[in-house]
Amino acid sequence: MTGQAWDAIFVGAGITSLACAAMLAQRQPGLRLLLIDKHIVAGGYASVFRRPRQDATFDCSLHKLSGMQEGGNLIRILRQLGLDQSLELVYPHDYFCAYRGDEALALANDVDQVQQQLLARFPGQAEGIAQFFEQVATFGRNGYYQFQMLDGSFEPDIAQLRYAHRHLKHKTVREGLAELFSDPLLIEILAAPGIYVGGYPEDLGYLYYLHVVYATLNRGNAYVRGASEQLSAQLVQRIEQGGGQVLLSTRVEKVLDDGQGKVRGVATSRGEFLAPRVYINASPHYAVEHLFAADTPLAPVRQKLANLKPARSTTTVYLVLDQAPESLGLAHSESMLFADAPASAGPARDAAALAGHPHALSEQAYWQLSPMEVTNYHLLDPEGGRVVCLNVLDAIDQWPQRRTPEYRAKKQRAAEVLVERLLTAVPGLRGHVLHTEVATPHTYVRFTNNTAGSGYGAMVGTDLSGHVFHHGFPLAGVHFLSAWVAGPSYEAAFGYAEMKAGQWVAA
Ligand SMILES: Cc1cc2nc3c(=O)[nH]c(=O)nc-3n(C[C@H](O)[C@H](O)[C@H](O)COP(=O)(O)OP(=O)(O)OC[C@H]3O[C@@H](n4cnc5c(N)ncnc54)[C@H](O)[C@@H]3O)c2cc1C
């Protein structure tokens, strides 16, 4: 393949690359598309790893897909690709079950029911609850259909846009929710979907977050049987059927230019590949640091990138149990565990960050007090084994270098703390954990090159100036195509990929 000319090369075969290439292959069969990934499987975070001895398949990212009911962007795109027929979709009963102390509140997978459930549980917050769901249905909806707004197929109410721009755009989730509510548990429950996009209430822009709630609750969610790797594998199939290729275990080392401001291809661990377009699926910070020739005039890009903050990373604990988790009391596909004193989580994270992320303070803030997300994979797909997965958003700064005794000891502590939280919330699981594995922010860097181990590309906060880093990129033919430009989540990846595929013009 070396030296052969391609129509486009994709640096990385994460979900955004796969989606875009599959759409191009469908629209223009015969296009010569080459996806190159350093890993042994395609998909990036949308992949699994297996432990045959434990009879377990672990999903690297959670693969809860938003926008999966009528009117949803993702289901529409999957239909266009014919994937709604070939993928087996699982629609869960609950949005998630909220645990605090002895209390468990299973929120239905329906926005009206969730509103009623919250009203019944927090009657003193009725006014705020009504306002909040109204905001989700108007401003969240406008944000959700942003790509359709650009192509003219969705016409928003201009007065709503103006109001959002003036009153909501500059607020964080912490500020937005504090204006509506005084109950700290309700605030933590409503802020929990921020975990799906890698941000705590102090991190995320309120307007953006309203669209996340709209996408995941109002537009429905579903899982793929066979985990996220099924989705990636089927996209690879579509690409190959259309004449494209996916080359694995191959590291891209440099993006090549023609000396006159145009991209020419890439140099990899297996030689050079040439194309007039190169789509960069890897983190832009990493790409700018490592993939371009020293004389590429990247100073303005670097300056903008300084304002593009990575979303949070994750510490994940994978568990294998000796019985079906639901038979031991973990009855819901997804649960969120909140601290006994939910109001303490935010200030604890502030204090840990201010002190430079020392161990004890950070472990308490991120692992003990912040919400912990729990997915019962067995309930979604028993063929993957008796698997449960625990996630907390985390800061890479609290983690020592890999392969050191400090790192190993910290991994051990993370497993103990997070598993104990689960066992306290669901005591029936105690004594049934057979196998435990931990992925840290460093694990995520190692496998994907994502800056600071970000699980979700760029943080979408209140300052969006860094998000235009790629506008006017100094090398013609270079495109960025990942969660770093699309926004976090599979749905955003497919939406952005659709837009990029639509922009294809013959070179
Ligand atoms: C723990 C966790 C849980 C999540 N849960 C959900 C969820 O439930 N629902 C949801 O919608 N989203 C979820 N996400 C987010 C979602 O997984 C990501 O937004 C999405 O997968 C990112 O895709 P991407 O296209 O940006 O590529 P990535 O997955 O970041 O892949 C980038 C690819 O580039 C490759 N690469 C990098 N450098 C090179 C190089 N030099 N040469 C060759 N290849 C290279 C890497 O190997 C990798 O395969 C989760 C993420 C994490 C981490």
Give the pLDDT confidence of 436-465 residue by residue, as tens digits: 999 999 999 999 999 999 999 999 999 999
Query: Which is it for strands 33-36 and 48-51: parallel, antiparallel or unpaired?
Result: unpaired
Calculate what percentage of the chain has a pLDDT beyond 90: 95
Q: How many CB atoms lie within 10 A of CB 103?
A: 11
Task: Using the atom order of ligand 1, give the atom closest to the CA of residue 290.
Answer: 41
151-184 residue pLDDT tens = 888 888 999 999 999 999 999 999 999 999 999 9
Residue 469 has pLDDT above 80, yes or no: yes
Residue 496 has pLDDT above 80, yes or no: yes
Task: Name the band, by pLDDT with cuts 50, 70 and 90, for residue 147.
Answer: confident
Residue 464 and residue 492 share a domain: yes
Q: Where are the beta strands (DSSP E) in 130-281?
A: 221-224, 245-247, 252-257, 263-268, 271-274, 278-280
> 181: CA distance to ligand 1 center in Å?
34
Task: Name the band, by pLDDT with cuts 50, 70 and 90, for residue 146.
Answer: confident
> 239: CA distance to ligand 1 center in Å?
19
Residue 506 has pLDDT above 90, yes or no: no
Residue 63 has pLDDT above 90, yes or no: no
Residue 236 and residue 204 share a domain: no
Whether 433 is covered by a domain: the verdict is no
CA distance 443 to 292: 25
Residue 209 and residue 250 share a domain: no
Q: Where are the beta strands (DSSP E) in 101-150?
A: 103-108
Closest CA relative to residue 477, chosen from 260, 245, 299, 302: 260
Q: Where are the beta strands (DSSP E) in 346-491?
A: 372-376, 387-394, 433-439, 478-480
CA distance 44 to 49: 11
Residue 205 and residue 177 share a domain: yes
Residue 202 and residue 240 share a domain: no
| Sign of the alpha-carbon dihedral angle for 131, 134, 138, 139 | positive
Residue 235 and residue 301 share a domain: yes
The residue nearest atom 5 of ligand 1, judged by CA position, is 62
- Angle of helix 111-121 relative to helix 126-135, nearest 10 degrees? 160
Task: Name the band, by pLDDT with cuts 50, 70 and 90, for residue 104.
Answer: very high
Query: Which is it for strands 89-90 and 278-280: parallel, antiparallel or unpaired?
Result: unpaired
Q: What is the pLDDT of residue 507?
A: 64
Residue 317 has pLDDT above 70, yes or no: yes
Q: What is the pLDDT of residue 152?
A: 86
* Contact assessment for residue 109 and residue 95, using Cβ atoms and an 8 Å cutoff: yes
CA distance 211 to 218: 10
What is the average per-residue pLDDT within 207-233? 96
Residue 212 and residue 126 share a domain: yes
Residue 190 and residue 118 share a domain: yes
Task: Name the band, by pLDDT with cuts 50, 70 and 90, for residue 268.
Answer: very high
Q: What is the pLDDT of residue 240?
A: 97
Site residues for ligand 1, CB cut-off 6 Å: 11-17, 36-39, 44-46, 61-65, 196, 251-252, 281-282, 314, 316, 391, 444, 448-450, 455-457, 482-483, 488-491, 493
Q: What is the pLDDT of residue 174?
A: 98
Calculate what percentage of the chain has a pLDDT beyond 70: 99
Q: What is the pLDDT of residue 148?
A: 86
Closest CA relative to residue 395, chosen from 325, 313, 329: 313
Closest CA relative to residue 193, chosen from 457, 456, 484: 456
375-428 residue pLDDT tens = 999 999 999 999 999 999 999 999 999 999 999 999 999 999 999 999 999 999
> 117: CA distance to ligand 1 center in Å?
34
Whether 407 is covered by a domain: the verdict is no
> 212: CA distance to ligand 1 center in Å?
18
Closest CA relative to residue 445, chosen from 294, 289, 257: 289
Task: Name the band, by pLDDT with cuts 50, 70 and 90, for residue 366.
Answer: very high
CA distance 467 to 486: 10
Residue 291 domain boundaries: 8-53+226-308+460-502
> 43: CA distance to ligand 1 center in Å?
7
Q: What is the pLDDT of residue 151?
A: 81
Whether 27 is covered by a domain: the verdict is yes
The residue nearest atom 36 of ligand 1, judged by CA position, is 12
Closest CA relative to residue 174, chosen from 165, 186, 187: 187
* Contact assessment for residue 441 and residue 453, using Cβ atoms and an 8 Å cutoff: yes
Residue 180 and residue 129 share a domain: yes
Domain end marker among 202, 219, 236: 219
CA distance 118 to 127: 12
Ligand 1 binding pocket mutation candidate from 281, 288, 500 (most atoms within 8 A of CB): 281
The residue nearest atom 2 of ligand 1, judged by CA position, is 61
Whether 236 is covered by a domain: the verdict is yes
Mean of all residue pLDDT scores within the chain: 96
Q: What is the pLDDT of residue 428?
A: 98
| Sign of the alpha-carbon dihedral angle for 465, 192, 200, 182 | positive
What is the average per-residue pLDDT within 260-273? 97
Domain end marker among 155, 188, 219: 219
Whether 44 is covered by a domain: the verdict is yes
Domain end marker among 219, 234, 262: 219
> 329: CA distance to ligand 1 center in Å?
32
CATH classification at residue 28: 3.50.50.60
Residue 257 and residue 196 share a domain: no
Whether 422 is covered by a domain: the verdict is no
What is the average per-residue pLDDT within 100-108? 96
Task: Using the atom order of ligand 1, give the atom closest to the CA of residue 16.
Answer: 25
CA distance 14 to 493: 9
3 state SS of 340: coil
Residue 3 has pLDDT above 70, yes or no: no
Q: What is the pLDDT of residue 343?
A: 95
**How far is residue 149 from each of residues 46, 209, 402, measured CA to CA in Å?**
28, 18, 45
Residue 233 and residue 202 share a domain: no
As beta bridge partners, residue 435 has 320
Residue 34 has pLDDT above 70, yes or no: yes
Residue 131 and residue 116 share a domain: yes
Whether 87 is covered by a domain: the verdict is no
Whether 464 is covered by a domain: the verdict is yes
Q: Structurally, how many domains does the chain consist of?
A: 2
The residue nearest atom 45 of ligand 1, judged by CA position, is 12
Task: Using the atom order of ligand 1, give the atom closest to the CA of residue 455.
Answer: 53
